Chain A
Amino acid sequence: GAVVSQHPSWVICKSGTSVKIECRSLDFQATTMFWYRQFPKQSLMLMATSNEGSKATYEQGVEKDKFLINHASLTLSTLTVTSAHPEDSSFYICSANLAGPYNEQFFGPGTRLTVL
Protein backbone atom coordinates (compact mmCIF):
# COMPACT_ATOMS: atom_id res chain seq x y z
CA GLY A 1 0.00 0.00 0.00
CA ALA A 2 0.86 3.65 -0.27
CA VAL A 3 2.82 5.27 2.56
CA VAL A 4 1.75 8.36 4.47
CA SER A 5 3.90 9.94 7.15
CA GLN A 6 3.09 12.41 9.90
CA HIS A 7 5.32 14.62 11.95
CA PRO A 8 5.60 14.92 14.85
CA SER A 9 4.33 11.62 16.23
CA TRP A 10 3.63 13.26 19.55
CA VAL A 11 3.78 16.78 20.93
CA ILE A 12 3.23 18.41 24.30
CA CYS A 13 2.55 22.13 24.39
CA LYS A 14 1.38 24.82 26.75
CA SER A 15 -2.12 26.21 26.62
CA GLY A 16 -2.38 29.17 24.25
CA THR A 17 0.40 28.11 21.92
CA SER A 18 0.04 26.88 18.34
CA VAL A 19 1.09 23.50 17.03
CA LYS A 20 1.72 22.49 13.43
CA ILE A 21 1.32 18.91 12.24
CA GLU A 22 2.64 17.77 8.86
CA CYS A 23 1.19 15.03 6.68
CA ARG A 24 3.15 13.72 3.70
CA SER A 25 2.38 11.18 1.02
CA LEU A 26 5.77 9.54 0.46
CA ASP A 27 5.37 7.51 -2.71
CA PHE A 28 2.37 9.04 -4.44
CA GLN A 29 0.78 12.38 -5.11
CA ALA A 30 -2.39 13.24 -3.28
CA THR A 31 -4.65 16.03 -4.47
CA THR A 32 -6.92 15.28 -1.54
CA MET A 33 -5.96 14.65 2.06
CA PHE A 34 -8.13 14.37 5.13
CA TRP A 35 -7.69 15.30 8.77
CA TYR A 36 -9.32 13.31 11.53
CA ARG A 37 -9.41 13.55 15.29
CA GLN A 38 -9.97 10.65 17.64
CA PHE A 39 -10.56 10.83 21.37
CA PRO A 40 -9.83 7.77 23.54
CA LYS A 41 -12.25 4.89 22.95
CA GLN A 42 -14.22 6.96 20.44
CA SER A 43 -14.74 6.80 16.70
CA LEU A 44 -12.74 8.65 14.08
CA MET A 45 -14.13 12.10 13.49
CA LEU A 46 -13.47 13.78 10.15
CA MET A 47 -12.42 17.38 10.70
CA ALA A 48 -11.75 18.60 7.19
CA THR A 49 -10.93 17.71 3.61
CA SER A 50 -7.75 19.30 2.33
CA ASN A 51 -7.50 19.99 -1.40
CA GLU A 52 -4.22 20.89 -3.06
CA GLY A 53 -4.20 24.49 -4.19
CA SER A 54 -7.57 25.41 -2.73
CA LYS A 55 -9.28 26.05 0.58
CA ALA A 56 -10.05 23.16 2.87
CA THR A 57 -13.60 22.00 3.41
CA TYR A 58 -14.44 21.80 7.09
CA GLU A 59 -17.02 19.52 8.68
CA GLN A 60 -19.86 21.01 10.61
CA GLY A 61 -18.80 22.16 14.05
CA VAL A 62 -15.08 22.37 13.27
CA GLU A 63 -13.70 25.90 13.63
CA LYS A 64 -11.73 26.77 10.53
CA ASP A 65 -9.96 29.66 12.27
CA LYS A 66 -8.76 27.38 15.02
CA PHE A 67 -7.69 24.46 12.83
CA LEU A 68 -5.77 25.95 9.93
CA ILE A 69 -5.14 23.66 7.00
CA ASN A 70 -2.70 24.27 4.18
CA HIS A 71 -2.22 21.91 1.25
CA ALA A 72 0.52 23.65 -0.67
CA SER A 73 1.82 20.72 -2.66
CA LEU A 74 0.67 17.34 -3.95
CA THR A 75 2.56 15.57 -1.17
CA LEU A 76 2.15 17.82 1.86
CA SER A 77 -0.74 19.03 3.96
CA THR A 78 -0.37 20.77 7.31
CA LEU A 79 -2.78 21.22 10.20
CA THR A 80 -2.10 24.03 12.66
CA VAL A 81 -3.97 23.99 15.95
CA THR A 82 -4.01 27.64 16.99
CA SER A 83 -4.26 28.81 20.59
CA ALA A 84 -4.44 25.23 21.78
CA HIS A 85 -6.34 24.39 24.96
CA PRO A 86 -6.45 21.19 27.03
CA GLU A 87 -9.69 20.14 25.36
CA ASP A 88 -7.79 20.02 22.04
CA SER A 89 -5.67 17.18 23.39
CA SER A 90 -6.38 14.27 21.09
CA PHE A 91 -5.00 11.89 18.48
CA TYR A 92 -4.85 13.68 15.12
CA ILE A 93 -4.63 11.46 12.06
CA CYS A 94 -4.29 12.42 8.43
CA SER A 95 -5.05 10.32 5.40
CA ALA A 96 -4.30 10.72 1.71
CA ASN A 97 -6.39 9.70 -1.26
CA LEU A 98 -4.64 7.53 -3.84
CA ALA A 99 -6.31 8.67 -7.05
CA GLY A 100 -7.38 5.95 -9.43
CA PRO A 101 -10.28 3.63 -10.11
CA TYR A 102 -10.59 2.68 -6.45
CA ASN A 103 -9.70 5.90 -4.63
CA GLU A 104 -8.27 4.12 -1.64
CA GLN A 105 -7.44 6.19 1.40
CA PHE A 106 -4.26 5.56 3.37
CA PHE A 107 -3.65 6.83 6.88
CA GLY A 108 -0.62 8.35 8.48
CA PRO A 109 0.54 7.02 11.86
CA GLY A 110 -1.10 9.86 13.77
CA THR A 111 0.05 12.64 16.06
CA ARG A 112 -0.78 12.59 19.74
CA LEU A 113 -1.26 16.13 21.02
CA THR A 114 -1.26 16.92 24.72
CA VAL A 115 -2.01 20.50 25.77
CA LEU A 116 -1.06 21.35 29.34
Chain B
Amino acid sequence: QKEVEQNSGPLSVPEGAIASLNCTYSDRGSQSFFWYRQYSGKSPELIMSIYSNGDKEDGRFTAQLNKASQYVSLLIRDSQPSDSATYLCAVKGESASKIIFGSGTRLSIRP
Protein backbone atom coordinates (compact mmCIF):
# COMPACT_ATOMS: atom_id res chain seq x y z
CA GLN B 1 0.00 0.00 0.00
CA LYS B 2 1.32 3.41 -0.96
CA GLU B 3 1.80 5.87 1.88
CA VAL B 4 -0.12 8.64 0.12
CA GLU B 5 -2.70 7.70 -2.48
CA GLN B 6 -4.38 9.82 -5.08
CA ASN B 7 -6.45 9.04 -8.13
CA SER B 8 -4.22 9.82 -11.10
CA GLY B 9 -7.07 11.16 -13.20
CA PRO B 10 -7.45 12.92 -15.48
CA LEU B 11 -10.32 14.62 -13.71
CA SER B 12 -12.29 16.73 -16.15
CA VAL B 13 -14.45 19.52 -14.72
CA PRO B 14 -16.41 22.19 -16.60
CA GLU B 15 -15.37 25.78 -16.13
CA GLY B 16 -17.16 27.41 -13.21
CA ALA B 17 -17.87 24.11 -11.43
CA ILE B 18 -16.32 22.77 -8.24
CA ALA B 19 -13.34 20.48 -8.62
CA SER B 20 -12.89 17.96 -5.83
CA LEU B 21 -9.53 16.26 -5.32
CA ASN B 22 -9.05 13.48 -2.80
CA CYS B 23 -6.15 11.89 -0.99
CA THR B 24 -5.73 9.15 1.60
CA TYR B 25 -2.68 8.42 3.72
CA SER B 26 -1.53 5.42 5.70
CA ASP B 27 0.45 6.87 8.62
CA ARG B 28 -1.92 7.69 11.48
CA GLY B 29 0.80 9.76 13.12
CA SER B 30 0.86 12.27 10.26
CA GLN B 31 0.59 15.83 11.47
CA SER B 32 0.90 18.16 8.51
CA PHE B 33 -0.86 18.01 5.18
CA PHE B 34 -0.18 19.97 2.04
CA TRP B 35 -1.54 20.50 -1.45
CA TYR B 36 0.81 21.50 -4.23
CA ARG B 37 -0.05 22.51 -7.78
CA GLN B 38 2.32 21.60 -10.58
CA TYR B 39 1.94 22.92 -14.09
CA SER B 40 3.49 20.90 -16.89
CA GLY B 41 7.22 21.52 -17.07
CA LYS B 42 7.28 23.55 -13.86
CA SER B 43 8.10 22.81 -10.24
CA PRO B 44 5.43 22.29 -7.55
CA GLU B 45 3.90 25.31 -5.86
CA LEU B 46 2.46 25.13 -2.34
CA ILE B 47 -1.16 26.26 -2.39
CA MET B 48 -2.62 24.96 0.88
CA SER B 49 -1.44 23.64 4.24
CA ILE B 50 -3.73 22.13 6.86
CA TYR B 51 -2.97 20.71 10.30
CA SER B 52 -6.27 20.41 12.18
CA ASN B 53 -9.41 18.46 11.44
CA GLY B 54 -12.01 20.40 9.54
CA ASP B 55 -11.96 22.90 6.71
CA LYS B 56 -9.50 25.61 5.82
CA GLU B 57 -10.44 28.13 3.17
CA ASP B 58 -8.18 30.39 1.11
CA GLY B 59 -9.86 32.20 -1.75
CA ARG B 60 -11.33 29.66 -4.14
CA PHE B 61 -9.52 26.79 -2.42
CA THR B 62 -10.77 24.79 0.55
CA ALA B 63 -8.74 22.03 2.15
CA GLN B 64 -10.55 19.45 4.26
CA LEU B 65 -8.90 17.12 6.76
CA ASN B 66 -10.35 14.10 8.52
CA LYS B 67 -7.66 12.40 10.58
CA ALA B 68 -9.96 9.64 11.80
CA SER B 69 -10.57 8.57 8.22
CA GLN B 70 -7.00 9.45 7.14
CA TYR B 71 -8.43 11.54 4.37
CA VAL B 72 -7.59 14.98 3.02
CA SER B 73 -9.25 16.76 0.12
CA LEU B 74 -9.00 19.95 -1.88
CA LEU B 75 -12.00 21.76 -3.32
CA ILE B 76 -11.57 24.37 -6.02
CA ARG B 77 -14.62 26.57 -6.49
CA ASP B 78 -15.44 28.42 -9.71
CA SER B 79 -12.85 26.38 -11.60
CA GLN B 80 -10.88 28.23 -14.25
CA PRO B 81 -8.89 26.91 -17.22
CA SER B 82 -5.78 28.18 -15.41
CA ASP B 83 -6.49 25.62 -12.67
CA SER B 84 -5.66 22.83 -15.13
CA ALA B 85 -2.58 21.22 -13.60
CA THR B 86 -1.45 18.23 -11.58
CA TYR B 87 -2.30 18.50 -7.89
CA LEU B 88 0.00 16.76 -5.44
CA CYS B 89 -1.11 15.76 -1.96
CA ALA B 90 1.73 15.63 0.58
CA VAL B 91 1.90 14.42 4.15
CA LYS B 92 4.46 14.84 6.92
CA GLY B 93 4.79 12.81 10.09
CA GLU B 94 5.39 14.37 13.50
CA SER B 95 9.10 13.66 13.65
CA ALA B 96 9.90 13.29 9.97
CA SER B 97 11.79 15.98 8.13
CA LYS B 98 10.70 14.91 4.69
CA ILE B 99 7.31 15.10 3.08
CA ILE B 100 5.72 12.09 1.43
CA PHE B 101 4.08 12.95 -1.87
CA GLY B 102 1.24 11.25 -3.66
CA SER B 103 1.66 10.63 -7.35
CA GLY B 104 -0.73 13.48 -8.18
CA THR B 105 -4.12 13.98 -9.80
CA ARG B 106 -4.24 15.57 -13.20
CA LEU B 107 -7.07 18.13 -13.35
CA SER B 108 -8.43 19.48 -16.61
CA ILE B 109 -10.90 22.36 -16.66
CA ARG B 110 -12.87 22.38 -19.89
CA PRO B 111 -14.25 25.68 -21.18
Give A residues with C-beta under 8 Å from B. 1, 32, 34, 43-44, 46, 49, 91, 93, 97, 102-110
17 A/B residue pairs, CB under 8 Å, sorted by A: A1-B46, A34-B98, A44-B44, A46-B101, A49-B97, A49-B98, A93-B44, A97-B97, A102-B32, A103-B32, A103-B97, A105-B46, A106-B46, A107-B36, A107-B44, A109-B43, A110-B43
Chain A: CB-nearest residue to B103: A43
The 8 closest A-B pairs by CB, nearest first: A110-B43, A43-B103, A107-B43, A93-B43, A107-B44, A32-B97, A109-B43, A105-B99
B45–A107 CB distance below 8 A: yes
| Chain A residues positioned under 8 Å from B32 (CB to CB) | 102-104
A104–B46 CB distance below 8 A: yes
Which chain B residues in 40-55 approach chain A with CB under 8 Å? 41-46, 49, 51
A44–B88 CB distance below 8 A: yes
Count A/B pairs, Cβ under 8 Å. Answer: 42
| Chain B residues positioned under 8 Å from A43 (CB to CB) | 101, 103-104
* Nearest CB in chain B: distance from A93 CB, A: 5
| Chain A residues positioned under 8 Å from B103 (CB to CB) | 43
A110–B42 CB distance below 8 A: yes
* Nearest CB in chain A: distance from B9 CB, A: 13
* Nearest CB in chain B: distance from A87 CB, A: 20
| Chain B residues positioned under 8 Å from A110 (CB to CB) | 42-43
| Chain A residues positioned under 8 Å from B90 (CB to CB) | 105
* Nearest CB in chain A: distance from B63 CB, A: 13
